[in-house]
């Protein structure tokens, strides 16, 4: 455990809980958790912050995934296949990350996010449950391959290359490609996130860059936030997830814009 004050520890735990809630509902909890760790641990090497972030996040994501799996219709086998492809894509993206300037990527991602927000606002029916949604609605083999290759590999590559908003992109892409309502897409995205987090955490653990004691404390709060978020998403439905989705998208745009302005 690093030498931090009790106040800092409490704030980090509250941030972990909030991040778990956001991540369970629609993804994007890292938007809060990683900056909180960077601010709370200013003298800790970045690699240890990233490793600790993954150790915390995987617990909340796993808890949310279990909660969703008990009540939401999820194709577990398909979700795992997408997750394994996302893991491979993430590793590839991380390999190329050193040669890509974030100053170039930020404006591109901001435009994409604004396009996503416009699409969701102009298509009120997008992601709303309809007759035959979820596991009962037939999905062609071509769409399944697209989900595995483009959603898994493409978004996984983006996660390794840049990162912010990965969970949100997963929810939107899975909903669009597989005709899932937003609640089922969120549930499926959690399984994919567990796969990518597990691969990243294994690498960080191998490199010895995880603050396990701090991660264990924060993970309890992240788990609680994730399970509460999953239950709220299930009970309140796609309309609630849609509202949180738009909030997260605009928050991502604001953060990226701020980073670009100060770059």
For residue 132, pLDDT beyond 60: no
Question: What percent of the chain stands above pLDDT 90?
Answer: 14
For residue 215, pLDDT beyond 90: yes
Confidence label for 135 from pLDDT (cuts 50, 70 and 90): very low
- Mean pLDDT, residues 168-180: 84
Q: What is the mean pLDDT of the chain?
A: 79
**How do residues 187-214 score in pLDDT, each as one tens digit?**
888 888 888 778 778 878 888 888 999 9
- Mean pLDDT, residues 81-104: 75
The residue with greater pLDDT, 106 or 77, is 77
For residue 133, pLDDT beyond 50: no
What string of DSSP letters covers the chain?
-----HHHHHHHHHHHHHHHHHHHHTS-THHHHHHHHHHH-TTS-HHHHHHHHHHHHHHHHHHHHHHHHHHS---HHHHHHHHHHHHHHHHHHHHHHTTS-HHHHHHHHHHHHHHHHHHHHH-TTTT---TT-GGGS---HHHHHHIIIIIIIIHHHHHHHT-TTHHHHHHHHHHHHHT--HHHHHHHHHHHHHHHHHHHHHHHHHHT---HHHHHHHHHHHHHHHHHHHHHHHHHHHHHHHHHHHHHHHHHHHHHHHHHHT-
- Mean pLDDT, residues 32-56: 83
Question: What percent of the chain stands above pLDDT 70?
Answer: 81
The pLDDT, as a whole number, for residue 53 is 87
The pLDDT, as a whole number, for residue 45 is 83
Confidence label for 240 from pLDDT (cuts 50, 70 and 90): confident
């Amino acid at each position: 455990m690093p030498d931090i004050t009790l106040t800092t520890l409490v704030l980090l735990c509250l941030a972990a809980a909030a991040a778990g809630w956001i991540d369970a509902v629609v993804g994007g909890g890292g938007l809060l958790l990683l900056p909180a760790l960077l601010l709370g641990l200013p003298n800790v090497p970045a690699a240890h912050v990233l490793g600790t972030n993954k150790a915390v996040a995987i617990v909340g994501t796993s808890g949310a995934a279990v909660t969703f799996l008990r009540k939401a219709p999820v194709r577990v086998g398909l979700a795992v296949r997408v997750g394994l492809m996302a893991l491979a894509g993430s590793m590839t993206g991380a390999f190329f990350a050193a040669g890509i300037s974030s100053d170039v990527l930020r404006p591109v991602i901001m435009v994409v996010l604004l396009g996503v927000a416009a699409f969701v606002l102009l298509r009120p029916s997008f992601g709303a449950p309809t007759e035959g949604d979820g596991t009962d609605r037939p999905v062609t083999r071509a769409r399944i391959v697209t989900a595995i290759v483009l959603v898994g590999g493409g978004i996984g590559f983006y996660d390794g290359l840049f990162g912010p908003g990965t969970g949100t992109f997963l929810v939107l892409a899975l909903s669009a490609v597989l005709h899932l309502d937003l609640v089922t897409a969120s549930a499926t995205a959690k399984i994919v996130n567990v796969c990518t987090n597990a691969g990243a955490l294994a690498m960080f653990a191998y490199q010895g860059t995880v603050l396990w004691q701090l991660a264990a404390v924060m993970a309890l709060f992240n788990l609680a936030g994730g399970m509460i978020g999953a239950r709220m998403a299930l009970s309140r439905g796609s309309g609630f997830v849609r509202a949180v989705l738009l909030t997260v998208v605009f928050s991502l745009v604001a953060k990226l814009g701020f980073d670009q302005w100060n770059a």
